[in-house]
Structure formats: structure tokens, C-alpha cells
Amino acid sequence: MHRFVAFVVSCAPPTLMVVIVFSVAYLLVGMPLHFARGPTARDVLGTLAGIFAALVYITLILGFGPDGHAGWH
């Protein structure tokens, strides 16, 4: 897991990666919903998907990063 986190962190600064992860999740979830259910579904569910993906990324970095606390005893 630490190798994966090291690779992800080396791709871009954490702030930029949170924005990228949010945008990708928003587009992957929101755009198909826009055509299926309309713009309101895109806005609501796309934003929720983006926020959830960004939180997962932040948790991954904070929990398993070089200074993370995944190894608490």
C-alpha cells in the first residue's frame, strides 16, 4: 500500500490531485446522469461522487503516506 501511495503522491502535489480526483469522479458520474436524468441529478450526484472520491484520496494520503498513522500499535 505504501508503494501505491508513494506513486500517487509523486504524480502531482496533493492539492492538485484532490482537484483532479474530484473532477474525474464528477465527470464519470455526473455526465451519464445528465443525459439519463437531467442536470439536477448531474449536479447533486456528480458533486457527491466528487466529494467522496476526494475524501477517499485524502484518507489514503493521510492514512498510508510516509507520515501516516496506519501502523499505530
Average pLDDT over residues 48-66: 85
Position 48 scores a pLDDT of 93
Dig out the grid coordinates for 27 from the structure.
Answer: 465527470
pTM of the model: 0.73
With respect to residue 2, please indicate whether it lies within any of the assigned structural domains. no
Other CB atoms within 10 A of residue 46 CB: 22
With respect to residue 32, please indicate whether it lies within any of the assigned structural domains. yes
Domain of residue 46: give its range.
13-64
Q: Domain count for the chain, please give it.
A: 1
Average pLDDT over residues 60-64: 80
Q: How far is CA 40 from CA 21, 32, 43, in A?
A: 21, 12, 5
CA angle (64, 67, 69) in 5-degree steps = 55
The pLDDT confidence band at residue 68, using thresholds 50, 70 and 90, is: low
Position 36 scores a pLDDT of 93
